[in-house]
Amino acid sequence: MEPLGQPFGEPGLGTRQIDAGDADLGESELPGPGPDSYWEWMAADHPPIVETLESTQCWRTEDDIDALALAWARSPWLRDAFIELHGDLGAGKTTFVRHLLRALGIRSRIKSPTYAVVEPHETPDGLAIYHFDFYRFSDPRELDDAGFRDIFAGPGLKLAEWPENAAGRLPIADLALKIAPMNDDIRHVTLRAQTSRGQQLLAACR
Ligand SMILES: Nc1ncnc2c1ncn2[C@@H]1O[C@H](COP(=O)(O)OP(=O)(O)O)[C@@H](O)[C@H]1O
Ligand SMILES: [Mg+2]
């Protein structure tokens, strides 16, 4: 099966064009058993947009992350979104997640999920958040067995570090962030919307 999304390489664009205003992706019934029907359903529920939209930001300090985190924490489009985080070790992926979770009201310790692969959280107002780190994920087929598909099929915010290591087994992300360190402190960040929900999130941080 082809990967559903190819952030920051050749655009992995689907053939189904949707209107940018058609942002209500709705609730869907899970299809019957079988990986193919599942992933087809996933692709249908997260329809790729034909024209991907990008914007860039500069994080001069970690404080700059808060502007983005607070804007998204206020946006209804963040609920149920899937956001991929790209960048080398030490780029700032986990740091971004920590700022976003704090902005969403998470007060408990935020562990990096490098060993557990996923750390679940819940905000005071009941939003489920799943923080994935696929750094140590060597065989993407593990995803089929690990119950992760249920998480991606369900409600809640999904954030994934190292999605490359699960390529072809994840639904298309609403947004892909690429974090590139310029030096110890400064990060150049590219935000790419890949669905109409992603476009709404991009608009929310302009
Ligand atoms: N502007 C910045 N944005 C994000 N992280 C920064 C920034 N400046 C310094 N850092 C530091 O860079 C490191 C990023 O580490 P981490 O978030 O664990 O990276 P990753 O999860 O991408 O491997 C942290 O120590 C963080 O404090
Ligand atoms: Mg990390």
Question: CA 39 from chain center: how many Å?
Answer: 17
CA-to-CA separations, 123 to 13, 65, 75, in angstroms, rounded: 33, 19, 14
Specify the higher pLDDT residue, 64 or 15.
64
The answer to whether residue 15 sits within a structural domain is no
Is a pLDDT exceeding 70 seen at residue 128?
Answer: yes
**Residue with more model confidence, 145 or 60:** 60
The predicted pLDDT at position 9 comes to 44
Are 159 and 85 in contact by the 8 Å Cβ rule? The answer is yes
| Mean pLDDT, residues 29-52 | 52
User: Running DSSP on this structure, what letter comes out for residue 50?
Assistant: S
Distance 36 CA to ligand 2 centre (A): 31
Residue 186 has pLDDT above 60, yes or no: yes
Q: What is the pLDDT of residue 59?
A: 98
Pocket flag, ligand 1, residue 113 (CB < 6 Å):
no
| Residue 91 in contact with ligand 1 by CB distance below 6 A | yes
| Domain assignment of residue 44, yes or no | yes
Which residues are CB-contacts of 27 (< 8 A; sequence separation ≥ 6)?
none
Whether residue 199 has its Cβ less than 6 Å from ligand 1: no
Range with lowest mean pLDDT among 20-29, 36-45, 116-125: 20-29
Q: Is the pLDDT of residue 86 over 70?
A: yes
How confident is the prediction for the chain on average, in pLDDT? 81
Cα separation values, 131 from 7, 40, 199, Å? 19, 24, 21
Flag whether 12 is in a domain.
no
Is 5:172 a contact under the CB 8 Å cutoff?
Answer: yes
The reply to whether 182 falls in a domain is yes
Reported as a single tens digit per residue, the pLDDT across 2-24 is 333 444 543 333 333 333 334 33
In this structure, is residue 9 part of a structural domain? no
Percent of the chain with pLDDT over 70: 75
Locate 115 and state its tokens: 């060993």
Residue 161 pairs with which residues in a beta bridge? 85, 133
**Which burial class, exposed, middle or buried, applies to 59 when counting CB atoms under 10 A from its CB (0-12, 13-18, 19+)?**
buried
H or E segment and range at residue 38: helix 35-45
Is 162 within a domain?
yes
Instruction: Find the helix or strand (DSSP H, E) in which 157 lies.
Output: strand 157-161
Q: Which helix (H) or strand (E) holds 140?
A: none
Residue nearest to atom 9 of ligand 1 (CA): 185
- The residue that leads in pLDDT, 8 or 88, is 88
Q: Which residue segment(s) compose the domain that 47 sits in?
A: 37-204
CB-based contacts of 9: which residues, under 8 Å, 6+ apart? none
Distance CA 151, CA 202 (A): 24
- The model scores a pTM over 0.75: yes
Structural domain count of the chain: 1
Report the pLDDT value the prediction gives residue 145, as an integer from 0 to 100.
74
Whether ligand 1 lies within 6 angstroms of the CB of 61 is answered as yes
**pLDDT given at position 6:** 47
Give the domain CATH number at 141: 3.40.50.300
Question: In this structure, is residue 28 part of a structural domain?
Answer: no
Burial status of residue 2 (CB atoms within 10 A of its CB: 0-12, 13-18, 19 or more): exposed
Does residue 16 form part of some domain? no
Q: Taking phi first (over 0 means left), then psi (-120 to 50 degrees means alpha), and beta for anything else, what does residue 42 get?
A: alpha
